[in-house]
Amino acid sequence: MPTAIALVDVNNFYASCERLFRPDLKGVPIVVLSNNDGCVVARSAEAKKLGIKMGVPYFKIRETYEAQGGIWFSSNYALYGDMSQRVMTTLEGMAPTVEVYSIDEAFIELSETWAGDLIVYGRQIRERVQQWTGLTVGVGIGPTKTLAKLANYAAKKWPATGGVVDLRDEGRRDRLMAITPVEEIWGIGQKLTTKLASQGVHTVADLVAADPKSLRCRYGVVVERTVLELRGIPCAELEHLTQAKQQIICSRSFGERITAMGPMQQALAGYMERAAEKLRAEGQRCRHVTLFIRSSPFSERETYYGNQIATRLPIPTADTRELLDQIEPLLRRIWRDDVRYQKGGVMLADFTPIGLQQGDLFASEQQEPRSEALMQVIDKINQGRLGKVYFAARGPDTREWTMKREQLSPRYTTELKELPVVG
């Protein structure tokens, strides 16, 4: 085990990415909305001070928020993904092991034998990430992942820490745990917080003082391991290798309700294209294909309808054309004309690594050798900057089913033509 584990987390990541290229928004409240400009999924520090809550539908707060000078953006996943990659690349140059935990945070291995004083090194990490990406990170250090998470919470909550907190010292740990609500612990959700409160467990210190075995009997092994980690006993090591995906899902809520099968088929074709591209990027072929469609579960004027259907392919494939062929016959079996559909999607599963699958003696057709080469060419084009290759199944006009993104910022780091021109 390493001497310590650090959690490096970008402060207010989505909002910070938007402000990074808009210096005129310094000090201005910023929120980023979910797909179709629905709910708040990210807030700047200024927006948090206004009392804006995560997950609140924007239409409920829009008038009040904008009257206070607040600005909102549609989710710009191209920008956030590229900035995330830049942060992670920076961290990889400063630590021997980096486990990317999410788009804006990573666990890294630290040791005093090569890093020296870990507080000082944590500040160096902050400085380099700031210098190379323009983004600010918090650094939490501890002997376990859970304690590193707790340290990161303290680094962000109290500016006096300078954005770096080390919880390897038991005395400092105890003082922090005594004033930290139990819901701030990694893996302790709202339902579990309520259950723990009924047992008199309100702070992290209360949880640590409880008997792990009795917690396991009442709440399961995850809570027991959490307590052990909070006591400084590692139960989860850094993952050196990314775990292979077991399934790939591509799904979106539609910008407008879909009432005809044609547009729905085109929407699912677009999702299938993306899913197939992800499948090939994983070096896999799939044998199981699922389609799902549904109306809005929150509409008071319409009866809810949701359904899904799956099929098993005779031969595993990663060929977009073969996957697209599944959409129309499957969709017909679950389609209803009297429904206004809000969402649809595809799921691929039952993976086989490319090059390892066996042919089917009883299949009328085998995987065509030229298929893989063609898909590679298409992927190479789509990953480049010269244009995109789309299949006819998605149709020429995507306006009916694509997301609403009324306040989408430019893709500053990945699209040269979207850079602002100063003249």
How does pLDDT run across 280-299, given as a tens digit for each residue?
A: 988 899 999 999 999 987 77
Same domain? For 40 and 90 the reply is no
Indicate whether 156 belongs to any domain.
yes
Lowest-pLDDT range of 27-31, 135-139, 293-297, 395-399? 395-399
Residue in 81, 69, 71, 83 with CA at minimum distance from that of residue 20: 83
Same domain, 268 and 131: no
Is the pLDDT at 400 greater than 70, yes or no? Answer: no
Q: Which residue has the tokens 């820490």?
A: 161
Percent of the chain with pLDDT over 70: 91
pLDDT number for residue 230 = 93
Residues 45, 17 share a domain: yes
35 occurs within a structural domain: yes
Sorting pLDDT into bands at 50, 70 and 90, what band is 112? Answer: very high
385: three-class secondary structure by DSSP: coil
* 313 found inside a domain: yes
Same domain? For 144 and 268 the reply is no
pLDDT at 388: 73
- Mean pLDDT across the stretch 353-378? 65
Q: Which of 22, 57, 77 is the last residue of a domain?
A: 77
Q: How confident is the model at residue 375 (pLDDT cuts 50, 70, 90)?
A: confident
Q: Average pLDDT for residues 155-170, to the nearest whole number? A: 94
Place of tokens 């700031």: 130
- Tell me: do 18 and 141 sit in the same domain: no
Q: Final residue of a domain: which of 77, 105, 127?
A: 77
Confidence of residue 123 (pLDDT cuts 50, 70, 90): very high
CB 410 within 8 A of CB 286: no
Are residues 141 and 58 part of one domain?
no
Number of helices and strands in the chain (H, E) = 16, 12
What is the phi-psi region of residue 46: left when phi exceeds 0, alpha when psi lies from -120 to 50, beta otherwise? alpha
Range in 17-26, 148-157, 209-218 with the lowest mean pLDDT: 209-218
* 204 and 288 inside one domain: no
Contacts by 24-28, CB closer than 8 A, 24 or more apart: 25/71, 28/69, 28/70, 28/71
219 and 300 assigned to the same domain: no
- Looking at the structure, tell me whether residues 260 and 358 fall in a common domain: yes
Which range of residues forms the domain containing residue 146? Answer: 4-11+80-230
- pLDDT category, 386, cuts 50, 70, 90? low
Q: Are residues 72 and 84 in the same domain?
A: no
| Lowest mean pLDDT segment, chosen from 54-63, 247-256, 364-373, 410-419 | 364-373
Looking at the domain assignment, is residue 235 inside a domain?
no
Asked whether 142 and 167 are in contact (CB, 8 A), the reply is yes
CATH number of the domain within which 202 lies: 3.30.70.270
Q: What angle do CA 201, 203, 207 make, to 5 degrees?
A: 55
Cα–Cα distance for residue pair 65/57, rounded to 1 Å: 12
Q: Is the pLDDT of residue 363 over 60?
A: no
Given a cut of 90, whether residue 422 has pLDDT beyond it is no
Q: Are residues 261 and 348 in the same domain?
A: yes
As a whole number, mean pLDDT of residues 161-173 equals 94
With respect to residue 153, please indicate whether it lies within any of the assigned structural domains. yes
Express each pLDDT in 177-215 by its tens digit. Answer: 999 999 999 888 888 999 889 888 999 999 999 887 888
Q: Does pTM surpass 0.95? A: no
Q: What is the pLDDT of residues 219-231, one digit of tens each?
A: 888 888 999 999 9
Shortest CA distance to 31 belongs to which of 75, 80, 72, 60?
72
Q: Count up the domains in the chain and report the number.
A: 3
pLDDT(403) > 90: no
Report the CATH number that the domain containing residue 274 is assigned in CATH.
Answer: 3.30.1490.100
241 in a structural domain:
no
342 has pLDDT over 70: yes
Query: Is 242 part of a structural domain of the chain?
Result: no
Asked if residue 176 and residue 148 are part of one domain, the reply reads yes
Mean pLDDT, the chain, as a whole number?
A: 87
Mean pLDDT of 54-58: 91
Pick the closest to residue 103 from 1, 239, 19, 9 (CA basis). 9
What's the pLDDT at 107?
96
